[in-house]
Amino acid sequence: MMWYSRETHCYDDCGFAVDGRVVAVLSHSPHQSRVTVLVERAEPTVFSGHGEAVSEGVSYECGAELSSGGTCTRDVDGPDELCWQHDEEDEDEADT
């Protein structure tokens, strides 16, 4: 999903920097060295399977208790999920 913002920038001989893609120039004032642009950006959040907004770059760890007393640090998809190894252990315990 994309989102758009209207931004006003002052510029010099080097131009101006925009975090995204300029879609349109809405106004330009060469006497004031100012430009107003419409900027397109990728949506910074994704939605988990539970309908919760999750920021890009957020990672989750398994967190299962290890025999050494520590916790498992393998990456998983969501906050309440276990990694492949500990998920199988839970299934084996349920069968007994």
Give the model's confidence band at 3: pLDDT under 50 very low, under 70 low, under 90 confident, else very high.
confident
Q: Residue 55's Cα: distance from chain center in Å?
A: 4
Domain that holds residue 86: 58-95
In a domain, 49, yes or no: no
Are residues 31 and 7 part of one domain? yes
In a domain, 50, yes or no: no
Express each pLDDT in 53-92 by its tens digit. Answer: 555 556 788 888 888 888 888 888 877 888 888 876 555 5
Number of domains into which the chain is organized: 2
- Name the pTM for this structure: 0.44
Task: Look at the block and give the residue holding tokens 């999750």.
Answer: 54
How is residue 6 written in tokens? Answer: 């209207």
Give the model's confidence band at 35: pLDDT under 50 very low, under 70 low, under 90 confident, else very high.
very high
pLDDT score for 86: 84
Q: Do the beta carbons of residue 4 and residue 43 sit within 8 Å?
A: no
Are residues 36 and 6 part of one domain? yes
In a domain, 53, yes or no: no
For 26, list phi and psi in degrees, rounded to 5.
-85, -35
